[in-house]
Amino acid sequence: MPKAFAASRSDIERIYRAIRRIRRVEEVTAEIYPSDKIKSPVHLAIGQELVSVGVCDALRPDDVAGGSYRSHAVFLAKGGDLNAMMAEMYGKDTGCCRGKGGSMHIGDAAVGVAGSSAVVATQIPMLAGFALALKREGKGRVAVVFLGDGATEEGCFYETLNFAALAKLPLLLVCENNGYAIHEPIAKRRARPDGLCAVAEAIGVPARKITDGNTFAVRDAAAAAIARIREGGGPEFIEVQVYRWREHVGPNEDFDQDYRCRSEAEPWMAGDEVARLAALIDPATRQRIDGEIEAEIAAAVRFAEESPAPAPEELYADVFA
Amino acid sequence: MSSPEAPPRQLRYVEALCEAFDQEMARDPSVFVFGLDVDDHKAIQGSTKGLLAKFGPERVFTTPLSEDAMTGIAIGAAMAGMRPVHVHIRMDFLLLAMNQLVNIAAKAHYMWGGQVKVPLVVRSMIGKSWGQGAQHSQGLHSMFMHVPGLKVVAPSNAHDAKGCMIAAIRDDNPVIFMEHRLLYPTQSEVAAEPFTVEPGKARICTRGDDLTVVGISNMAQEAIRAAELLHEVGVAAEVIDPIWLAPLDIETIAASAKRTGRLLVVDNGWTMAGASAEIIAGVAERVDGVRARRMGFAPTTCPTSPWLEEHFYPNPGTIAAAAWTLARPAEKPWAPSPQSTKLAYQVQFKGPF
């Protein structure tokens, strides 16, 4: 596949650090998971990190991004606090949602990570609402919503596309098409599985599809779209073909589960962006980056394990603002 | 309630609502009003009249027929610091927005650990009479009362409409604002200045020692008319309008029921698992020995034929008769004459909407 994107050494190192960090956080999460210390169902993004990393690299710190229950990658790529995320998975008082959201609802308002939602597609209009507020504010900020291919089957996807186009909202919709809604392949769910971009275009939202699994392709497409959106061009849609390496929910692979087979995953694993980018960096630098990532993750796990549980009275806090 | 000094005027319910929007939009640029038809020439029965001209299309705008997404967009905008007022021309249509209201709006502040607030007002009106029927007449407040994180209010007069709307707009939580179509032309004294009718405070509308009658939404007005009929036969009913259903001022109701020993709750909705059941349960947990009855929609779908619809709703006559039996259990049943019941009837509306 063609991978000739202009990227400086510092770009490559920054992107590598981001994608490797997310991969390792999720691998460590999967390792801890059987211990039952993580009191929360985890939907890992292993294999799909390139989307969050590529898009968020093109964002400003004051932009807003949010996604579904599979949002560890979005959270970390947008600058969410790793300690707070790990503590949230442990159900601790220091978690980003104070132990009330868990893995499926992580958010970090301070860095523009809108809380993630566990009802498929609900994040789409929510981020459009942020976009409406950002448009009124007039400072050129944009909102990005990450969604899976399953979310494109919900009514509010179409409703939001229409209103966003009508109102020219500063909204980028990023579809991480991993081909499955839980265990159901897209061919069983859509009459035209390859028609997502055509749907968006028909409603009035410019769309493009990226199929080569290249982080820089995603980044460049996102950067171009975001530049147009900031200028008032209205919403755009980017579909990125990816592959989910692990099971829908939980820490394991599931190629023995009879709904998909390893041979389908192998090309994606062979073209893994973490390994590809690692090979582009000199060994000493890579070792330093990897070491820093491992230390940061170990510290986050320690933070989560040592943090206090929420006090019982916390149950009743924040029902109302 | 914080009513100011300026002399009150008689305003219609819709005019009072409109004045609330006008004053709050002038006070706070983050307030906007949107929903199908808010900017057309009819302006939601006049309740949004003049707002477009004064505040412009960025703050007063119609929407595609997309209740689900538009509710989500309102929620997102509220999280981002705005104060949306989302208007629905019937409460029945809120069912199209239940996912957003129950799964996101109600839970956002809690499940995201207090990081965000959802200062959202969801306006809807309940229809009645002239063929409103199955899908234009439902009072669905109990569904919303069930969910922690939502506030629910059902003002029954113009004064409360303005005061509750201002309180709802200023509230940092999602508020389901339930209006009733038959209340729109009714007038009451409304102060010209902004004021609030605060959540969690019921109003005692009439004083009486024989029984307590709680009337919800439009049924507060019907209960007051029933109290007048009861007065003619020597029964003194204490009518209470809860105004806010969540948070609910159960203490005021329980204190009255404790004194009168008898409680009739008349709801503008079905009784099964409804607001009336909640109010009676709340009183029973606080006060021993209160005899209680409830009334509401017949346990059927609302029919359109007036000959059937007449029996679907409680009315001043049936409320007065039920109250009599509760207050005078040893005496023969009584009901006001059809003629006086008719005189107590609310003016029904006629017209397509």
Q: pLDDT tens, B31-60?
A: 999 999 999 999 999 999 999 999 999 999
Which residue in the list B67, B222, B238, B309 is annotated as catalytic?
B67
Using a CB–CB cut-off of 8 Å, the residues of A that contact B are 64, 95-101, 105, 107-109, 114-115, 117, 119, 122, 124-134, 136, 143, 155-156, 159-160, 162-163, 166, 317-321
Considering the domain boundaries, does residue B349 fall inside one? no
Query: What is the reported pTM?
Result: 0.95
Residue B6, pLDDT > 80, answer no
User: Per-residue pLDDT tens for A60-78?
Assistant: 999 999 999 999 999 999 9
pLDDT digits 0-9 by tens, A228-280: 999 999 999 999 999 999 999 999 999 999 999 999 999 999 999 999 999 99
Are B148 and B257 part of one and the same domain? Answer: no
Confidence of residue A7 (pLDDT cuts 50, 70, 90): confident
**pLDDT cut 90: percent of chain A above it:** 97
Residues B157 and B238 in one domain: no
Q: How would residue A192 be classed by pLDDT, with cut points 50, 70 and 90?
A: very high
Confirm whether B278 is domain-assigned: yes
3-state secondary structure A215-276: HHHHHHHHHHHHHHHHCCCCCEEEEEECCCCCCCCCCCCCCCCCCCCHHHHHHHHHCCHHHH
> What gap in Å lies between CA A216 and CA A210, rounded to an integer?
11
With contacts defined as CB-CB under 8 Å, which chain A residues touch B104?
117, 119, 122, 126
In what order do the strands lie in the sheet containing B121-126?
Answer: B60-61, B31-34, B83-88, B121-126, B175-180, B151-153, B244-246
- Whole-angstrom distance, CA of residue A255 vs CA of residue A132: 42
Rounded to whole angstroms, the Cα distance separating B219 from B313 reads: 9
Quick one: B224 and B112 in the same domain?
no
Task: Determine the pLDDT at residue B8.
Answer: 76
User: Would you say residue B137 lies in a domain?
Assistant: yes
Q: What is the pLDDT of residue B348?
A: 59
Residues A92-108: pLDDT tens digits? Answer: 999 999 999 999 999 99
CATH number reported for the structural domain that contains residue B104 in this entry:
3.40.50.970
| CATH classification at residue B269 | 3.40.50.920
| B32 shares its domain with B74 | yes
Concerning whether B67 is annotated as a catalytic residue, the answer is yes
CA distances from A307 to A37, A301, B219, B339 (A): 12, 10, 53, 72
Tell me the per-residue pLDDT of B104-137, one tens digit each, with 9 for 90 and over: 999 999 999 999 999 999 999 999 988 899 999 9
Task: Check residue B86 and give its pLDDT.
Answer: 98
Whether the CB-CB separation of A117 and A123 falls below 8 Å is answered with yes
Task: Output DSSP code: residue B101.
Answer: I
Domain that holds residue B305: 203-344
Distance CA A244, CA A46 (A): 6
Nearest to A209 by CA among A168, A183, A158, A173: A173
Residue B240 has pLDDT above 60, yes or no: yes
Query: Looking at the predicted structure, is the pLDDT value of residue B268 above 70?
Result: yes
Nearest to B109 among A134, A159, A318 (CB): A318
- The three-class DSSP label of residue B166 is helix
> Can you give the three-state secondary structure of A12-69, one letter per residue?
HHHHHHHHHHHHHHHHHHHHHHHHCCCCCCCCCCCCCHHHHHHHHHCCCCCCEEECCC
> pLDDT-based confidence at B346, cuts 50/70/90?
low
CB contact under 8 A, B68 and A156: yes
pLDDT at B260 over 70: yes
Residue A275 main-chain phi, psi, to 5 deg: -70, -40
pLDDT of residue A44: 95
The pLDDT score that the predictor gives to residue A6 is 72
Examine the pLDDT at B350 and tell me if it is beyond 70.
no
- Structure confidence by residue, pLDDT tens digits, A10-30: 999 999 999 999 999 999 999
Q: How far apart are CA B71 and CA B168, in angstroms?
A: 17
Residues A156-168 pLDDT 10s: 999 999 999 999 9
Q: CA A245 to CA B26: how far, in whole Å?
A: 54
B175 in the same domain as B110? yes
B183 and B231, same structural domain?
no
Same structural domain, B39 and B103? yes
Q: Is the dihedral of CA B159, B165, B166, B170 positive or negative?
A: positive
Residue B151 to chain A, least CA–CA distance (Å):
9
Predicted confidence at residue A133, as pLDDT, reads 98
Q: Do A127 and B76 touch (CB under 8 A)?
A: yes
Given a cut of 50, is residue B20 above it in pLDDT?
yes
Quote the pLDDT of residue A96: 97
The shortest C-alpha distance from B82 to chain A (Å) reads 7
Choosing from B190, B219, B251, the residue where a domain stops is B190
Look at residues A215, A237, A55, A67 and name the one whose alpha carbon lies nearest to residue A145.
A67
- Partners of A107 on chain B (C-beta within 8 Å) are 112, 115-116
Do B14 and B90 belong to one domain? Answer: yes
Average pLDDT, chain B: 95
- Among B142, B167, B190, which residue terminates a domain? B190
Average pLDDT over residues A295-300: 98
Among B190, B213, B232, residue at a domain's last position: B190
pLDDT at B338: 86
Q: What pLDDT is attached to residue A276?
A: 96
Are B254 and B282 within 8 A, CB to CB? yes
CB B295 within 8 A of CB B272: no
Distance CA B34, CA B12 (A): 22
pLDDT tops 70 at residue B265: yes
For the stretch B55-91, pLDDT in tens is 999 999 999 999 999 999 999 999 999 999 999 999 9
Q: What are phi and psi of B164, to 5 degrees?
A: -70, -35
Q: What is the pLDDT of residues B147-169, one digit of tens each?
A: 999 999 999 999 999 999 999 99
State whether B237 and B263 are in the same domain: yes
List the CATH code of the domain at A40-308.
Answer: 3.40.50.970
DSSP state at residue A142 = -
Is residue B7 predicted with pLDDT exceeding 80? no
Nearest to A123 by CA among B199, B346, B116, B196: B116
Which of these is catalytic: B109, B136, B141, B180? B136
Predicted pLDDT at A2:
45
Q: Are B125 and B249 in a shared domain? A: no
List the alpha helices (DSSP H) in B173-305.
218-232, 250-260, 275-286
The count of structural domains within chain B is 2
Contact B46, B14 (CB under 8 A): yes
Domain shared by B120 and B94, yes or no? yes
